[in-house]
A and B are shown apart, each in its own frame.
Chain A
Amino acid sequence: MRTLPRPHGPSVRGRLRTDRGLLVLTAAVVALVTALLAAVGPLTVRTADRAVAASVRDAGTRGAVVATVAQPDSRGPRRRDPGSVERLAGDVESARSRMPRVLAAAVRPGVVSLTSKPLQLTDAGPGRYLRLAYVATASGPPSVTWVDGEAPASSAAPGQEAVVVDAAAPPWPVQVGLSTSAASALGVGAGDQLEVEDEARRSVDVRVSGIFSPVDPDDEAWLAQPGLLSATTGTTEGVVRTSATALVGDASLPDLRIGVPSDDLSEQVSFLPVPEDVTWRGAPALRRAVVGLQSGGQGELTGTGFDTLLDRVLDDALTQVATARGQAQLLLVGLTATALLVLVLGAQLLVRRRAGTLALARERGAGLLGLGLELAVESVLVTAVGTALGLGAVLALLGPEGWTVAPSVVLVVVVVAGLAAPVLGAVEAARATGARRVPANRAARRALVQARATRRLLLEGLVVTAAVLSLLALRQRGVGDGDLAVGSVSTWWALVAALLLVRALPLLVRPALRWARRTSGLSRLVVVARVAEAGTRALPLTVLTVAVAQLVLGVSLAATERAGQEAGARVAVGGDARLRASPEPSLVRTAATVAAAPGVRTAVAARVTDARLSSSSQAVDVRLVVVDAAAWARLLDDSDLPAGSGPARLEGPGRVRALVSGGSAAVGEGAQLRWDDAVVPLDVVGTAPQVEGSAEPVVVVDTRALAGAGTTAPPDTVWATGPGAVEAVRAAAEAGDDVTTYAGVLAQRRAAPLPSALVALAAASALVLLALAALGVVLAATVDAPARRVSAGRLRSLGVPDRTLLTMLTGELLVPVLAGVVAGLVAGATCAAAITGHLGLEVVTGETAPPSLVVPWWVPLAALLVALVVPVLAVREAAAVRRASLARLLRGGGPG
C-alpha cells in the first residue's frame, strides 16, 4: 500500500522564511475576513434584538394585550360591593394566568380600568359627554394633586358599605374627580352635581368631588384612559361636542358599580409588553402565542376575551429585521466574494514566486502530492493563525456571544485560504514538467482552441445564468433573511461585469496599440503593449471590478437609505416643524402667527384625526386630514412633501371633495366619511398623499368645504416650513402641546437600530472593500513585478530617462486599474438601479414606497482612491530598478 509522502520540513521552513511577508499578508486577510464574518452573527442578533425592542417600545399602547372582562348582569336589586378594588385586582391576575407563559413573561403588570360609556350631560344642552373611569396599576390608582376639592369618597354611609340598591331606587351617586383640562372644557367645578344620562336615557348621579392635576402625566395608568387628562372638542352638524373622562377613585369604585348600569360599564386589563424582554429570536414564539390567545375562543368560556395588535407589531418588526438582514447579506456576500478572490490572487502570487523552485523540485523527482502536501502544511498553518486571530478578536470584542458564529461562512473562507495555494502550486508544478503536446495537425490545433473557447463560454454562461436567476429571484421574492440566491445578486452582477471587461479590454487595447504605433514617442507604445501583454489578466481585473461594484452598491444603498430617511422624516412631521395641541379653533390664529415669524415660509393649521370611510363596497379606518386646501398647497409646493393629486382639486362646488389614498378606484361608489357622529358624503377627486407617515389610508378634505357640509373640525395641528419654523412653532406652543421637528425625527430615525446598523455595515464594508481592492492592485502588480523590472532595466540600457521610465510604469499599472474601477463603477451603479426598488428599503426608512436611488457624486472619487496605490507602486518599482545594478539586471536575462 502506498503511504502519503511526508512533507520535507526544511523546504517548508525555507518557504515560510522566504515569503514571510506575503504569508503574513494572507494571514491578515484571513483574520480580517474571519473577524468580520464572525462578528456579523452576534452583532446582527444584538441589532435585531434592539430593533424588535424598539418596535415594541414605539408601538406603545398599540402593542398592549387588552383583556376584556365580561360584566355581571345586574338587573334587579344591586348590592354595593366594598371589595370591588380587590375584585378588579383579582381580574388582573386571572387575565394574566390565562395568557400563554411566553406572553405572560413578556408583559408588565396589568393596568385595570372600569369605564362607562359616554354619558351625556343634560343640564346645559347637548354636546357635552362624560365617561366615568377607574384605573389602577399594580401599585394602585395614579397619583394626583387635588387643586380644588378633594378625592372622590364613598357615597355609602358608614356601616352601609354593602347596601343593596333596589332597581326602582333613584340613581346611586358616584363621586368623581376631573382633570383641570376636563373641568375647564365641560365648564364644571368641584362640588357640582351633574345631571347625566346614558344612551338609553337612564340617569346617572355624578358628583364632582374635586379637580386634580396628575403627578406624573406619563404614568402608565393614564395611557389606559387618555381622556382622563385632556378633553376633546369638535363640531358635528353645527353642534360643538366636548368629551371628557372623570376619575373614579378606590373609595367610589363600589359606587360606580351600582351607580351606572352594568351594560354601560366595560372592564379591561391592559398589559403593556416589556420591550427589553421581547427578543428577535423569541418574537416568533411570542407572536404565535398572541395569535393563539386571540383565536383561542377562551372569551366565551371564561368571560375574558383578549385583543391586541402586538402580533402585527411583531410581524412588522420581524419583517423589518428580515429585510435589513437581507440587505446586510447582500453586502456581506459581496465582501466575502471579494476577500476570496483576493486570497486566490495572493495564492497565485505565492505560487508564481515559487514557480522556479517548484519546477526544480518536480524535476528532481518530487511527486505532485508531496509538493501539494508541503504547500498545504504551510497554507494550513497560515490560515489557522489568521482564523484564530480573527475569531480571537471577535471573542475579545464581543465577549462570549462572539462564539455564536455562522460556521459555514467562515468555513468557506478557511477552506479557500487553506487550499488555494496548495492546489495552484500543484497545478504549476505539473505544468512546469508536464509536456504540453501541441498537435501537429492544424485541424486538431483548431479543435483544441475551440474546446478551450467553449469551456470559457460555458463558464461565462454559468455566471450570466446565475446573475439572471438571482435577479429574477430578487424581483419575485424580495430580499429575505438567509436567501443566498437573492443575497448574491450583486456579486453575480459584478462578476458578469468583470467577465465583460476581461472580454472587452483586449478589444479596446488593440486599436489603442495601433494608435500608439503611429505615434513617435516611446512611452505610449510601451504602456499599451505591456497592458496588452499583462494587463488583461482575468483575476486582478475581477477582484477590482467586484470590489468596486460592491463598494458602489454599499455606498449607494446607505446614501439611498439616508435620503429615504430624510424624505420619510419630512413626511412624518408634515414640514420642518409641527405643533400638536388639543383641537382648538384658535390654532388657525396660531398658524398665522407662526407664518408671520421670521424664517418661516409657510404655516398651515389642520385637523388630523382618525375617522372611517365607507362606500358601497367597503368600510375602512382612515386618517382624516381637514385642512385649508390653498394654504396646504403652498406648504407642499414649498417643501419636498408628496402632493398626491394636488390640493387644488379639493376646491369646488357640490359635495365635499376629497383626496383619498389610492384614488376613487380604491374607494368605490358612494364614499361617505364617518367622523364622530357626522356622516359626510364625499366626492373623491384624486389621490391623497401620505400624511404624517400614516399607516392607514388618508382622506384629505378642505376645511371650508367640510364646514359647508355642517361639520366643523377645529385644528389640532400646525405645520410649518422654513429655517425659522422650529423656533416659531416652539414659541407658539403652550404647555401640554407637542412640538415635533424634522431634525428631531430624522435624528431619531438615523439612530434607530436597523438603519444605523445598516449604514455602519455599509461604511465598514466600503472601507474593507477599498482595502481589499488596494490589496488586489498591490498583489496583481507584485505578480508581474519581475517581468516589469526586466523590461524597465532593458529600457534603461537603451537610455530611457528615469522620469520616462516612471511614466511608463505608472501608465502600465494604472490602465488596468482604471479599467477595473470604471467597470466596477458602472456595474455597481447599474446593479443598484436594478435592485434598489426590490430591496425593501422603505421598510427600514419608514416610507410607503421604495426611495429613489441615490448614487453619491463622490463615489467615483472614493473608488479612484484605489488608483492612488499605483503611483506609490510605480515610484517604488522605479526606485528598485534604479537601485539595481543595470549590468547585473541585463546579465540576468529573462524572456526575450
Chain B
Amino acid sequence: MRFFTTLLLHTSRDLLLTWKSQLMTVFTVMLSVLIFSFFYLTYVNALHVGTEMGNDLRLVVYLDEDPPPPLQDEYRRRILKFDQVERIKFVNSQEAYQRFSKQLGSDSDVLSGVPDDFLPPSIEVYPLRSLDSLARIKRFSDYLETLPGVQKVLYGKEWIDHFHAFIQLMRIVIILSGFLLIMTSTFMVAYTIQLSLFSRVQKLELLRLVGATTNYIRMPFLIEGALLGLFGSTTGIAALYLLHRWIKLQFSGPTLFNLVPFTFLSWPTITGIVTAATLLCALGSFRATRPILHL
C-alpha cells in the first residue's frame, strides 16, 4: 500500500512539474485516437450499409432453357460446391412472364400477343448476407458463367465494385491511421518522457544514490505514460462522440441515415481503443526510461 502511495505521490509531483509538455502529448494522442476512431467508425457504418444493401443482393443466372428437375439438382449442387448461399430459386419462363406482367401493372396489355415463354428461364442465387459475400460476388459470378447452359449472369456489378473499392480504401486508411496512432502513442510519449527525464536527471541520480530500486524510479514514468494514454484516448473518444452527434444532427431528415442507422462505436470497441492507447503509451514510456536507468 505504502509502495503505491509513494509512487502516486511521485507521479503527481512530476506531472505538475512538466504539465505543459504533458498537455501537448495528451492533445497529440487525442488527435491520433480521434483520427483512427473516426475512420473506424466510418468503416463500421459502411459495413452496416453493406449488410443492409446485401439483403437485396442476388445473382440472376439466365439459362438457355428450362432445366428439368435432375438438371436443377445438378445446378444446385454445383452452386453449393462453390459457396454457401442463403437461397436458390429456379424461375421458369412462364413465371418470369407473370412477374414481368405484374411489374407492368396497367400497361401489361403491351404483352398481348407475346408468347409467355419469350423470357429466358433463370436461377436466382441469394448469397449469404455479409460484406464478404459482396467481395466474393464477382468471383461467384465468373464461376456461374462457366456452368453449362448459362447465357449470362447479372448482379449490381457497378455499385458492388464501387462499394468494394470504398471498403478496401477504408481498410487501408484504418491501417494507416492505426499505424499513426501507434507511432504517436509510443514515440511522442517516449519523447515527452525523455524530456521529462532530462529535466529530472539530477533527481534520478540522487534517487539511485540513496538506494532507490529500478522499479521505484521507473514506475512513476510508466504510470505517467499510461495516464497520458488514458486521458488522450478518452478525450479522443469523447471528441469523436461529439462529432458523431454533430453529423447526425446535420444530416437529420430524409437522408441515407434514415435508411441505414449511423451508429456509434460499441462499448467493447471503445474499451479496446482506450486500453490499446494506454498500453502503447506505457510501452513508449518504458522504452524512454530504459537507457537512463543504468545510472
**Co-complex (A, B):** no
Q: Which residues of B contact A (CB under 8 A)?
A: none
Q: Which residues of A contact B (CB under 8 A)?
A: none
